[in-house]
Structure 1
Amino acid sequence: MARTGSGRLPLFAAMRESIKEGYTLQTLRGDLLAGITVGIIAIPLGMALAIAVGVAPQHGLYTGIIGGLIIALTGGSRFNISGPTAAFVVILLPITQQYGIGGLLLVSAMSGLILLALGLARMGSLIQVVPYPVVMGFTAGIGVVIATLQIKDFFGLRNVGQHESYVDQLQALVQALPSIQPGDTLVGIVTLGVLMLWPRVTRKIPGHLVALLVGALLALGLMHFGLPVDTLGSRFSYVMDGVTHAGIPPIAPHWVLPWTLPGADGQPLAVDFNLLRELLPAALAVAMLGAIESLLCALVADGMANTRHNPNAELMGQGLGNLIVPFFGGITATAAIARTATSVRSGARTPMAAVFHALVILLAVVLLADLFAYLPMASLAAMLLIVAWNMSEAPHVVHMLRIGPRQDVWVLIICLVLTVLFDMVLAVGVGLLLASVLFIKRMADLSQGSKKPIHSDAALAALPESVALYQINGPLFFAAADKALNALNRYDEAIRYLAIDMQTVPSMDMSALVIFQKALQDLEKRGIKVYLIGVRAPLRLKLKRAGMGAVRGSRRYVARPSQAARHIREDLAEQQSEAATL
């Protein structure tokens, strides 16, 4: 397929570039090692994140297999490892609660179509306009929500339930504290301790693997001595050949129509226009977050490996992955920063590392599914607590709260609080609105107009007192135009010539054009001739199209003050000549 510049679809961009550079045995060795390493990490994470969004753990594994494979092959980043991520928990959990797994998979497919449209429209670069305080605020808020949701399984609390409101969920957790289970709590604490301390021992063996093994062995020992511990097998089950088995089915992802799966009422979804309209806001939020997280992840990987990704190809790859994965039982997929960074550090060279990661998960599902039933829920909760902590970037947030500009700090805090108390969609919407208003204010503060003494410019210094100089700086738009132009009409009757220095005015919007035209007309009605100095070509064309061309020798466009001075001298000389003739 042709390159993006040819106008054709940029699919398979990263894979094509990797093949073009040549695929050696050394490259294969690096990709294989990275794929195995990340695959081992992705297995428990995939199950834990699926549980966190309210579905059976196998759906998270199917996401890593199908989504990870398709996105790696078709996307625009060499290193992105895609699968279920913690960022989506706060969006997907309410969908599962309200529409069941059928609605959840339908939202994933709809978000895939939106991402495809963004890639086709070459919108990859526009994602960069989301302000950093907004991103930091909602990601930190998501981390807080994820950590709160893990308290139940970490301590083995009973009768907590799922609540739509964060405050209600927190209240239910507090009320359930007397039901703390010592077995689950001990397993959770030990697993958390291993996860925190293992990186200090070695990074060659993934800490997730060691922590889960320790947690599972401890849980088996506790249950042997009669202390109950909640496991994946005691929480989830499946039916095969009429027999109920604990854990997850040892079956590879297979074709399924999302709308045939049960909704919240246990019945298959009735897909119609009303349902799609109800799910559209969630699909837009999922697509937006998936685009932001995937492109940020690609930037991180590029920084680590000194490469460049194709943002539009990555959006299209993410779109295809999310469009197809629900038809194999997978939930929303996006690039995972932690897994991608691990892959790069483990020697990944091409998208084949992500392909191998997907194959490792597939082998684990087919060969090791029975063993997953022994994984303690407290251990999976501990693992997500670490994910939430890393995602929240709490030390960095505290640092930014201390040193950041006050206005940006308030944007960050508001996004964080809204994400926790309400939802991410509202938080991002309000954050973008606040950031936009603050940006407009800052730009308006930079835009200003002021009277200048005529002698402040050497070219105009020798002109008589009937000549005035006005200087405009910065872009002129609706929030700045009135302030920058309000002094134009405050010249006394002695002024006959006005030179307006516009060399540092890059643009004008419609509001500024209207105000500027009115000001010029008022000046000319008073017999004041206006000279516009240094107007840039695109802006000059815009002014002339708006009706601000030359009128009776006025509104002359000149490149430099010296040219305005020459025209004024010529006009004065002509007036003196006419007066002498009379």
Structure 2
Amino acid sequence: MPLSSDPARAPWWHLLVPKLFTVLAQGYRLDDLKADALAGMTVAVVAIPLAMALAIASGATPDKGLLTVVVAGFLISALGGSRFQIGGPTGAFVVVVFNVIAQHGFDGLILATLMAGAMLVLAGLLRLGTLMKYIPEPVVVGFTAGIAAIILLSQVKDFFGLMPGELPGDILGRLGGLWAARDTLDLPTLAVAGGGLAVILLLRRFGPRVPGFLVCVVAGGLMVWGLDLPVDTVGSRFGSVELGVPTPTWPEVSLARLAEMLPSAFTIAFLAGVESLLSAVVADGMTGRRHRANCELVAQGVANSASALFGGLPATGAIARTVTNIRSGGRTPVAGMLHALIVMAAVLLAAPLIAHVPLASLAAVLVVVAWNMSELGRIRQLMRGPWGDRLTLVVTLGLTVLVDLTVAIEVGVVLAALLFMHRMSELVALSTGGPMIAEDVDDLSGQPRPPYVAGGLPPGVEAFRLSGPLFFGVASRIADLLDSIAGRPRVFLLGLDGVPMIDATGASKLADLAAKCRRHGTRLILTGLADQPARVLADMGVLELAETAPDFEAAVAGLGEG
């Protein structure tokens, strides 16, 4: 069945159709395959060292990262809602994965990732993809920069070859432990790491098309092997790296276990959803295409569930690899699928060589990843913004580094929501345009609020006008309107022509106002109701408690006739 070209007439399930289906339906040519194969190979070269480095930083073994690229990377491209999305492990997961493994073991990570996958599928089916785009940028930048700082700190040990022993879990304790071990600095390790970092930075400056991560890893391995340097390698710490045919494993499941892993699962789902949609938005901006957000969430859910069942790590859309795919000429989701297959083939053929990769070289890779994640330019820009955004960014960043990623996300989103409500409340004006939520001193002044119309009203008639959205953040003051004016008016006109929307709380408070007017023997007339407020007030029975008029003039004329 062809997809409808008219979004208004398209059934809801069209939002869940993978882009791969669209591409194949439109026709896939040999030229497309050539372009996708070249892009897939380029991205695979970037993905191999990055996947190993991220897995090690997450407290897992290198093969887990490579397995995630193969399983999740293939499914994200095959089932996703973006033509260009490249999926796999990313730096955003490092902190949460490390903590889950440390506290609950790898079996706990599998369960948390399975739960996160189910959450993402459900979010996509409920069409929540658009809502996830509304996460405030200060929250995203704050926790991303916090994760970058933690990743950077986690690589100090391998970058400098320190031997601090068992490090505490908290950041300040880790800093103290690393500083105490400064005398154990290993110069050969530092030389390999520093040389690898220099290679990456120089290639980015003078040879941006050369895969700097891969060159860093290969050059570091040759340096350690050729000079016989006593530097830790993947093989010396983890043994051989093998990517055989994985078999699905099901974790231990119980209600207590599910409750225990719920916060971690929520964090994984949140990160996977937000980062994948951010990556898709970046791809849209570069190509002029449009992704299907809800389809992308479903694909992320399926991919994360499959990755967990086969022993992999959480995955999401990777912005840097997606951009690499686009710049390398990738045209369709086939490029991402080929990238996963190429990684699998490369690991199967070169598994013995991977054991010789120095951990110092992978530390250099992650230092660059952390620096890119920090986005200092965006931080500087946001710190010039309104005070509320600055506060949200700083609090989210600080909680990410010092407390916990889940707490940081929750507090950041709640703080941003509170600030949003405060800003919205400032848009709601009463009568002469003063802010509806006033300081306490205004309530204690004892002065009546100025009426909507200075004169020309019959005796015993008071009129006020509201403008702006009447939502729960400001609705609590509605019921106080009658008490804010002098005496007990015979008629109370409330102009709502400037109110574009009313939520349930606002309607409930209007009902309270109507009930208070009835008790005082005051007629309440609501004027100028727009469609949405009228519908909400009618559905909630508020219009049965008050009179209505199409506008203020009609209400006044009706009083004269009465």
Equivalent residue for 2:529, pick from 531, 535, 542: 535
SS of alignment partner, residue 93 of structure 1: helix
Q: TM-score, normalised by structure 2?
A: 0.89
Q: Which residue of 2 aligns with 1:67?
A: 72
Q: Which residue of 1 aligns with 2:397?
A: 416
Identify if the C-alpha distance between structure 1 residues 109 and 439 changes in structure 2 by more than 3 Å, giving closer, same or farther. Answer: same
In the TM superposition, what is the alpha-carbon distance from 1:153 to its structure 2 partner?
A: 0.6
> Is the deviation greater in 321-330 or in 311-320?
321-330
Q: Which residue of 2 aligns with 1:204?
A: 209
Matches within 5 A, 1:85-104: 85-104=90-109
1:252 equivalent to 2:244? Answer yes
In the TM superposition, what is the alpha-carbon distance from 1:407 to its structure 2 partner?
A: 1.3
Structure 1 letter corresponding to 2:131? L
Question: Equivalent pairs: percent with the same residue?
Answer: 39
Identify if the C-alpha distance between structure 1 residues 502 and 75 changes in structure 2 by more than 3 Å, giving closer, same or farther. Answer: same
In the TM superposition, what is the alpha-carbon distance from 1:125 to its structure 2 partner?
A: 1.5
Aligned equivalents of 1:10 and 1:499: distance in 2?
46
Structure 2 letter corresponding to 1:252? G
SS of alignment partner, residue 503 of structure 1: strand
Aligned equivalents of 2:123 and 2:177: distance in 1?
40
Where do 5+ consecutive residues of structure 2 fail to align? 5-9, 432-448
Do the aligned partners of 2:503 and 2:536 also contact (CA within 8 Å) in 1?
no
Aligned equivalents of 2:116 and 2:453: distance in 1?
62
Aligned equivalents of 2:308 and 2:541: distance in 1?
57
Asked which structure has the greater CA Rg, the reply is 1
Aligned equivalents of 2:288 and 2:341: distance in 1?
27
In the TM superposition, what is the alpha-carbon distance from 1:31 to its structure 2 partner?
A: 0.9
SS of alignment partner, residue 229 of structure 1: coil
Q: Which residue of 2 aligns with 1:407?
A: 388
Structure 2 letter corresponding to 1:411? T
Identify if the C-alpha distance between structure 1 residues 2 and 312 changes in structure 2 by more than 3 Å, giving closer, same or farther. Answer: farther
In the TM superposition, what is the alpha-carbon distance from 1:449 to its structure 2 partner?
A: 2.0
Identify if the C-alpha distance between structure 1 residues 258 and 386 changes in structure 2 by more than 3 Å, giving closer, same or farther. Answer: farther
Equivalent residue for 1:336, pick from 318, 323, 328: 318
In the TM superposition, what is the alpha-carbon distance from 1:525 to its structure 2 partner?
A: 5.4
Matches within 5 A, 1:218-257: 218-223=223-228, 227-237=229-239, 247-249=240-242, 251-257=243-249
Aligned equivalents of 1:524 and 1:278: distance in 2?
52
Aligned equivalents of 1:381 and 1:494: distance in 2?
75
Aligned equivalents of 1:497 and 1:345: distance in 2?
68
SS of alignment partner, residue 470 of structure 1: strand
In the TM superposition, what is the alpha-carbon distance from 1:548 to its structure 2 partner?
A: 4.3
Aligned equivalents of 2:91 and 2:245: distance in 1?
22
Identify if the C-alpha distance between structure 1 residues 94 and 494 changes in structure 2 by more than 3 Å, giving closer, same or farther. Answer: closer
Aligned equivalents of 1:165 and 1:24: distance in 2?
54
In the TM superposition, what is the alpha-carbon distance from 1:350 to its structure 2 partner?
A: 0.3
Aligned equivalents of 1:367 and 1:396: distance in 2?
41
> Is the deviation greater in 386-395 or in 142-151?
386-395
1:480 equivalent to 2:478? Answer no
Structure 1 letter corresponding to 2:127? R
Query: What do the CA deviations read for 1:149-193 (whole angstroms, capped 9, x no partner)?
Result: 011110111143354222222222111111110001011111111
Query: What do the CA deviations read for 1:30-61 (whole angstroms, capped 9, x no partner)?
Result: 21111011000000001111111112111111
Aligned equivalents of 1:356 and 1:326: distance in 2?
21
Do the aligned partners of 2:120 and 2:298 also contact (CA within 8 Å) in 1?
yes
Do the aligned partners of 1:452 and 1:469 also contact (CA within 8 Å) in 2?
no
1:322 equivalent to 2:304? Answer yes
SS of alignment partner, residue 129 of structure 1: coil
Identify if the C-alpha distance between structure 1 residues 166 and 258 changes in structure 2 by more than 3 Å, giving closer, same or farther. Answer: farther
SS of alignment partner, residue 496 of structure 2: strand
Identify if the C-alpha distance between structure 1 residues 60 and 506 changes in structure 2 by more than 3 Å, giving closer, same or farther. Answer: same
Where do 5+ consecutive residues of structure 1 fail to align? 238-246, 260-269, 572-582
Q: Which residue of 2 aligns with 1:433?
A: 414
Do the aligned partners of 2:167 and 2:173 also contact (CA within 8 Å) in 1?
no
In the TM superposition, what is the alpha-carbon distance from 1:256 to its structure 2 partner?
A: 4.1
Structure 2 letter corresponding to 1:419? T
Do the aligned partners of 1:400 and 1:409 also contact (CA within 8 Å) in 2?
yes
Equivalent residue for 1:390, pick from 359, 364, 372: 372
Aligned equivalents of 1:152 and 1:258: distance in 2?
34
Identify if the C-alpha distance between structure 1 residues 68 and 521 changes in structure 2 by more than 3 Å, giving closer, same or farther. Answer: closer
1:180 equivalent to 2:162? Answer no
Identify if the C-alpha distance between structure 1 residues 253 and 292 changes in structure 2 by more than 3 Å, giving closer, same or farther. Answer: farther
In the TM superposition, what is the alpha-carbon distance from 1:400 to its structure 2 partner?
A: 1.7
Q: Which residue of 2 aligns with 1:189?
A: 194
Do the aligned partners of 1:285 and 1:425 also contact (CA within 8 Å) in 2?
yes
Do the aligned partners of 1:253 and 1:329 also contact (CA within 8 Å) in 2?
no
> Is the deviation greater in 346-355 or in 17-26?
17-26
Query: What do the CA deviations read for 1:281-311 (whole angstroms, capped 9, x no partner)?
Result: 2122111111111111111111111111111
> Is the deviation greater in 16-25 or in 148-157?
16-25
> Is the deviation greater in 473-482 or in 345-354?
473-482
Do the aligned partners of 1:184 and 1:378 also contact (CA within 8 Å) in 2?
yes
Aligned equivalents of 2:453 and 2:14: distance in 1?
59
> Is the deviation greater in 42-51 or in 23-32?
23-32
> Is the deviation greater in 65-74 or in 154-163?
154-163
Identify if the C-alpha distance between structure 1 residues 14 and 469 changes in structure 2 by more than 3 Å, giving closer, same or farther. Answer: same
Do the aligned partners of 1:198 and 1:207 also contact (CA within 8 Å) in 2?
yes
Question: How large is the Cα RMSD of the aligned pairs?
Answer: 2.5
Do the aligned partners of 1:452 and 1:468 also contact (CA within 8 Å) in 2?
no
Equivalent residue for 1:105, pick from 92, 105, 110: 110
Aligned equivalents of 1:326 and 1:187: distance in 2?
34
1:346 equivalent to 2:348? Answer no
Do the aligned partners of 1:454 and 1:467 also contact (CA within 8 Å) in 2?
no
> Is the deviation greater in 93-102 or in 329-338?
93-102
Q: Which residue of 2 aligns with 1:298?
A: 280
1:118 equivalent to 2:120? Answer no
Query: What do the CA deviations read for 1:326-383 (whole angstroms, capped 9, x no partner)?
Result: 3333221111111001111111110011011111111111111111122111110010
Q: Which residue of 2 aligns with 1:274?
A: 256
Do the aligned partners of 1:489 and 1:519 also contact (CA within 8 Å) in 2?
no
Do the aligned partners of 1:67 and 1:325 also contact (CA within 8 Å) in 2?
yes
Structure 1 letter corresponding to 2:497? Q
1:561 equivalent to 2:552? Answer yes
Structure 1 letter corresponding to 2:527? I
Q: Which residue of 1 aligns with 2:136?
A: 131
1:504 equivalent to 2:504? Answer no
Query: What do the CA deviations read for 1:185-228 (whole angstroms, capped 9, x no partner)?
Result: 011111111111212212222111222233223223442xxx42
Structure 2 letter corresponding to 1:431? G
Aligned equivalents of 1:9 and 1:120: distance in 2?
11
1:55 equivalent to 2:60? Answer yes
> Is the deviation greater in 367-376 or in 540-549?
540-549
Aligned equivalents of 2:519 and 2:168: distance in 1?
69
Aligned equivalents of 1:569 and 1:379: distance in 2?
86
Q: TM-score, normalised by structure 1?
A: 0.87
